[in-house]
Amino acid sequence: MFGKIVVGLDGSEHSDQALRIACDLAGKYGSDLHLVHTPQPQTVAFAMGAVAGYHTVTTMPSSEEVQEAADKIIDAAKAVVEEAGQTVTQAHTERGEPAEHIVACAKEVGADLIVTGRRGLGSMGSLLQGSTTQRVNHLAECACLSVI
């Protein structure tokens, strides 16, 4: 039923839960798992701002810092997949708009399902901030599973 599953990751608790559900489905259907992460410099800057002395307002992360953060998210996801007894077919990282990258990856690999985590911002929150999951659902040409 689901031969290839693409999982959108952003390092959040919701994307971790989406990954765990995708691993469960992959185990049931013998699916290939493709991990997709689109590093966002603003997100890295925000995370780095939690470290004392780093001023996110005035300093954006370097390309190396963005890549390092992306690698950590992918490595953590691979550990979850391994813990679930599954294997990662391929990990995809590319800068750009996350929803478009997830959908493009799904098309490229011939995915039957895209799994993403949803932060549950509600209609007002997603109206103001946008929703990657909503955009994926709108653009995708395969089944989508939104995990809350």
Q: Tens digit of pLDDT for each residue in 29-62?
A: 999 999 999 988 766 655 555 554 555 455 777 8
Which of 60-74, 75-89, 104-118 has the least mean pLDDT?
60-74
CB 40 within 8 A of CB 98: yes
Give CATH for domain 4-147.
3.40.50.620
pLDDT of residue 57: 52
DSSP 26-37: HHHHT-EEEEEE
Model pLDDT, residue 53: 52
- Give residue 65's pLDDT: 86
In DSSP notation, 11-23 reads SSHHHHHHHHHHH
As a whole-number percent, the residues of the chain with pLDDT over 70 amount to 80
Decide: 36 and 64 in contact? Cβ < 8 Å.
Answer: no
pTM here? 0.85
- Sorted by where each begins, the domain ranges of the chain are 4-147
Q: Hey, what amino acid is at 110?
A: G
The pLDDT assigned to 47 comes to: 53
**Bridge partners, 93 (sequence order):** 37
The average confidence (pLDDT) of the chain is 86
